[in-house]
Chains A and B, each alone.
Chain A
Amino acid sequence: MAVLDILTLPDERLRRVAEPVTIFDEALRAFIADLEETRRSGPAAVGIAATQVDVLKRIVIVDVSGRKNTPNHGYLVLINPEIVHWEGYETAREGCLSVPDYTGNVIRATRIRLTANDPWGRPLELEMEGYEARAVQHEMDHLDGTLFVDRVVSRRTDLFRRKVYQKGGQPKGG
Chain B
Amino acid sequence: MADWHMLTLVGADRPGIVAGVTQAIFAAGGSLGEASMIRLGGNFTIMLMAAVEGGEARLRDALAPVAADMDLRLHIDPVAGGLHQHLIPNVQVRVTGADRAGIVAEITGALAGVGFNILELDSDVAGDPRRPVYLMHIQGYSDQPIEALEAAVAPIRASGIAVDIAPVETLIG
* Chain A complexes with chain B: yes
Q: Which residues of A contact B (CB under 8 A)?
A: 43-48, 62, 67, 92-97, 101-103, 131, 134-135, 138-139, 148, 155-156
Binary flags per residue of B148-173, CB closer than 8 Å to A gives 1, else 0:
00000000000000000000111111
Task: Please report which residues of chain B, range 46-75, place their CB below 8 angstroms from some CB of chain A when the two chains form the complex.
Answer: none
Give how many A-B residue pairs fall within 8 Å (CB-CB): 51
Closest residue of B by beta carbon distance from A67: B169
Determine if B100 is an interface residue (Cβ-Cβ < 8 Å).
no
- Asked if residues A103 and B173 are in contact (CB atoms below 8 Å), the reply is no
Contact partners of A94 in chain B: CB under 8 A: 170-173
Interface of B is mostly: loop
Question: Are A93 and B137 in contact (CB-based, < 8 A)?
Answer: no
Partner of B170, one of A48, A101, A103: A103
In the bound complex, residues from chain B placing their C-beta under 8 Å from that of A96 are: 172-173
**Which of the segments B13-21, B83-91, B108-116 contacts the partner chain?**
B83-91
Interchain CB contact under 8 A, B89 and A101? no
B86 touches A103 (CB 8 A): yes
- Residue among A44, A47, A67, A93 with most chain B CB within 10 A: A93
B168 cross-chain contacts in A, Cβ below 8 A: 92-93
B169 x A92 contact (CB < 8 A): yes
With A102-B86, A156-B122: A139-B173 Cβ-Cβ less than 8 Å: yes
